[in-house]
Every structure is written in C-alpha cells, then in structure tokens.
Amino acid sequence: MEKSALQIARAAYQPKLPEVLKGFVAIKEGEKTQSEANQEDIEKLFPNTYGMPIVNFVKGEKGDSAPVNVGVILSGGQAPGGHNVISGIFDGIKKLHPESRLYGFLMGPDGLIKHNYIELTSDIIDEYRNTGGFDIIGSGRTKLEKKEQFDSGLVILKELGIKALVIIGGDDSNTNACVLAEYYKSIDAGVQVIGCPKTIDGDLKNSMIETSFGFDTATKTYSEVIGNIERDCNSARKYWHFIKLMGRSASHVTLECALQTQPNITLIGEEVEAKNQTLDDIVTYIADIVANRAARGMNFGTVLVPEGLIEFIPAIKKLIAELNDLIASNQAEFDKIGADEKIAYIKAHLSEANASIFNSLPAGVSRQLALERDPHGNVQVSLIETEQLLAEMVSTKLAQWKKEGKYTGKFSTQHHFFGYEGRCAAPSNFDADYCYSLGYNAAMLIASGKTGYMSSVRNTTAPASEWIAGGIPITAMMNMERRNGEMKPVIRKALVKLDGAPFKAFASHRDEWAKETCYVYPGPIQYFGPTEVCDQPTKTLSYEQA
C-alpha cells in the first residue's frame, strides 16, 4: 500500500504517555461510587459492578506478570485516534509480558457474536499507528444486550484464551460494555470488560472523563473548513453560509467550532431548549441579524447549526417523544403499512397538540420524523436538512419584511453539512497522545484485575507527562432513560452547560461577532512544529480546566 509523505512521517511519531504509565504501576483506590441518578434501579440491575471505587495509578514496583490474551472491539461511528487506542493496548500488554496476544473482533460487536476475528501482530499494528479511521478491524453498531449474544461471545473468548475485552465506543457502546461486564462477572466467566470513551460529539464526559477521543481532531478539521468558508464569504461578500455540524444529542462540536472561528451566528440546542424557543423564534433571531448586517452593507455571513437542533426545540421534542412511544408500542402494525399510510396513522393517533405541530412542519421534515429511524428507534436527525430548512424560512421572513419596508438587503444562501469529513481525519497530536494513553491505561486496568471500568486519563490541559491515569466504574455514569418505550440503564449524555466557562466565553462575544466580521481562520491541523501550534487542546477543554 503506497503511503503519503505525511503518513510516513506520522508513522514515526511516538505518542507521549503520562509519566506514571512509563514504568511499573500500582493502583490507588478512592471513594466508592454511585450512579448519576436512579441509584436503587441501577444497583439492582448491576449488583456485581455497582459501587466500585474510582482508581488512580501511582508508581509501583516490578512484579511477576503472566501472558494475557486480550480482545478489542471498535463500536459505533468512527472517531480519529481509534488506531492509537489499539496500539496503546498492544504495547501495554506486551510490556506486561512479551507473549501476551491481542485479538481484534471484526466489524464491531458482531465480530464477537459471530466469531470473526484476527490476531493483531506488531506488523499490523505498526501499519496503523497515528492514522485516522477504524479500518484496522472495522466497526459496527450491533448492540450487545441479549444473553445469547453474551454466551456466543464467551465461546470464542474461551477458545482463544481471552481474559479481557476492551470495547472502544460512545455512551451506548460503553453501556453495553457495562452490561457485558456485569453478566460475565455474575456467571464467574473469568473475562474482564474495559471501556474506552470515544465520540466526536463530545457528549461522553464527566469529572473523570474530561473529553472523549476524536473531539479534538474532528472540531479542528471542521474549523479549518469553516475558516475557509468564512474567508470565501468575506471575499465574495454575497452569500450567507448555513453550516450544519455533527452533534445529535449535544451542541459541543458547534460551540467549539464557534470558539475557534467566530462566525456571525451560532445556534446552541441546549440554549434553545432552556429558553423554550419555537422554530419561529430561531428564524426571527437569524433574520434580525441578517437585516442588521444588510443595513450596514454586509449581505453575507456564516451560521453554525448543530445537527440535533430540531430535537432541542421543546414543542418538537415533545412531539418526537410521543412519536417514539407511539411507534414503539405499535411497531408490528406500523411495519405492515406503506409510507403514506404511516403518516395518516400517526396523524390519527397523536394528541391534538402534537398533531397540530406535526401538521405545521414542512412535509419533508414531518416524513423524516415519522419514518427515518436508527437501530435504537431514534429519529435520524442528521438526515433532516436543518440548515436548508432554516435558510428557506429566513428567506420567507425577509421577503415578508421587504414587503413591509423593514428590510432592503439581498439574501443568497449556500448550505453545508460537515459530518463524515471529520470522523476519520489523521488524529491531532492531542488525540494521538490521548488515545495511546487511554489504550495503554486500559492494559494497566486489565493487569490490575478490574472489570466494568472505563479508562480515564485526566489533567489533559497540562503536558502529557503530567496527565493522571486511572479508571472510573461505568455504573457511576449511568441513569435510567426511556428508550423504545421502555426505561433502560444508559450512560447519561453530557450536554453543553449554559453556566459553564466555554458557553459563557462564547455568549460574551456573540453580539460583537453578529454585528462585525470577526472571523478567525485556524488553517489545517499542524502535526510538526512548536508545541503552542501542535499540541494545544480544544478551546472547550481549556476553558473547562482553567
């Protein structure tokens, strides 16, 4: 396989590790934990893995280590740095004992269930160090939640002598890891399960998980392209660019990109919900800024929109919740009828208030809310062209204002959606270091006999040598939520905090950014050069850890 000059140079990069992981480690246990909420329910569901303590690694003495066979799964959507997590696991278990072996299950959890795997040797690992993507073993979205799946997986784990399984994924995947850890411990299967926090959306974090891997690289990738668009926008001076960004359940990506590029308008879903805004409120807010800039001769600008915005509008959120329950409780009947019949069925069975909102939406949006569902039963908000919907509605409002003499400008639009472009980018130095540390740290958690833990690396705004390594019980992050009409244990998603430092920094500047043209052009990710250029964390992390 031919490689680019950058790939060749990156292959030689040695990720930085926390100082504590460079030698032999001992474990220091902290206070016992409890779940984020619904403590009694979570403890009842996870009696064997609930209430375990937070652990940190400290310097230790060399001990006798036996070879250990470990399995690894990449689960869910891709995020930059996954290959470095795997190389960190590989190097960690090889340091414990050179005869340790690492097996990769192919195409996600399905590989475990169907016994599709490869042994990851040094030749394979070395091909993928510091590269983007999940192509070393592939990923998948199969949910691990049924006893027969666990039992099928256990057959191949026993056959290969695997004593520990590392699941690299987001909140749903790590919830599955927790369920699997609980089951294997309850039957004394002799298999540990460790999770690693992955998602470019940035919504898997807490006091012990400062950031999910991939967020740094993805937001820097998007910000480069947003900056390019802003430069073009400021040059042509004739278009409003509506840019939708990844983030179904939280607006972290949009907020970070706004802090990096200073666009004219940024919508934050969590604020929309907190202010109980309607779709018309949002459209009016945008139109006012467009009109004010036009009055000053600036018929151009940039608007950042989180992909999950629709779900944050309270009235539409209530509609979606009723839709979810209606479809889940009538799934068999719903599956038998055609698309048009489904729309009629929904209109006939919705409450009066939600039926009114459903009927008021553009036909394309209402159809997507009703018909396009992911495997978990969720609305596929990434398919809803929110950026175009907003542009069209703003155009309609401005046309009305023009008739009333309130607006005299020009309004031409361009639309963009940045999603897949950032998921497999070559990891930034931060993500290369962070991911390698997460993987290496997972190997140490395995060596310490832990199960049901998530690999945790903290103090990440300091130099990597000062990072703190350890683990947090996955049950400590959980609560009960309604999924597909049933209450289920899940890791609580971290939303943008409106009283948090990143949002406050943004809010203190947005009026100026709306009025003036204050664009910042970050340029491409830099992999080589001074540390202030190459190794900086995201603005979000810097503000949160300040």
21: tokens are 């992981």
Q: For position 383, what pLDDT does the model report?
A: 75
Give the predicted TM-score (pTM) of the model.
0.94
For the beta carbon of residue 119, count every other beta carbon within 10 angstroms.
11
Strands 240-245 and 301-306: parallel
Residue in 201, 216, 431, 433 annotated catalytic? 201
| 310-383 matches 20-214+427-479 in CATH topology | no
Indicate if 201 belongs to the active site: yes
Strands 468-473 and 453-458: antiparallel
CATH 3.30.1280.10 describes domain 217-307+385-420+495-546: no
Domain range list for the chain = 20-214+427-479, 217-307+385-420+495-546, 310-383
- The string of DSSP codes covering 334-379 is HHTS-HHHHHHHHHHHS-HHHHHHHHHS-HHHHHHHHH-B-TTS-B
Q: For position 118, what pLDDT does the model report?
A: 98
Say which residues have a Cβ less than 8 Å from residue 128's Cβ, sequence separation at least 6: 83, 86, 87, 135, 136
Backbone angles phi, psi at 380, to 5 degrees: -90, 80
Percent of all residues in the chain with a pLDDT value above 70, rounded to a whole number? 98
HSE-CB of 348 using CA atoms within 13 angstroms: 7
User: Could you give the CA distance from residue 103 to residue 101 in angstroms, rounded to a whole number?
Assistant: 7
CATH number of 310-383: 1.10.10.480
Mean pLDDT lowest for which of 305-309, 311-315, 327-331?
327-331
Q: How far is CA 172 from CA 72, 145, 208, 372, 387, in A?
A: 17, 11, 18, 20, 27
Assign 484 a pLDDT band (cuts: 50, 70, 90). confident
Q: For position 1, what pLDDT does the model report?
A: 66
Say which residues have a Cβ less than 8 Å from residue 257's Cβ, sequence separation at least 6: 219, 222, 223, 226, 245, 263, 304
Q: For position 317, what pLDDT does the model report?
A: 87
Q: SS3 of 492, please?
A: coil
Residue range 189-222, pLDDT digits in tens? 999 999 999 999 999 999 899 999 999 999 999 9
Of the candidate CATH numbers 3.40.50.10300, 3.30.360.10, 3.40.50.450, 3.40.630.10, the domain formed by 20-214+427-479 belongs to: 3.40.50.450
- The string of DSSP codes covering 431-448 is HHHHHHHHHHHHHHHHHT
Residue range 411-449, pLDDT digits in tens? 999 999 999 999 999 999 999 999 999 999 999 999 999
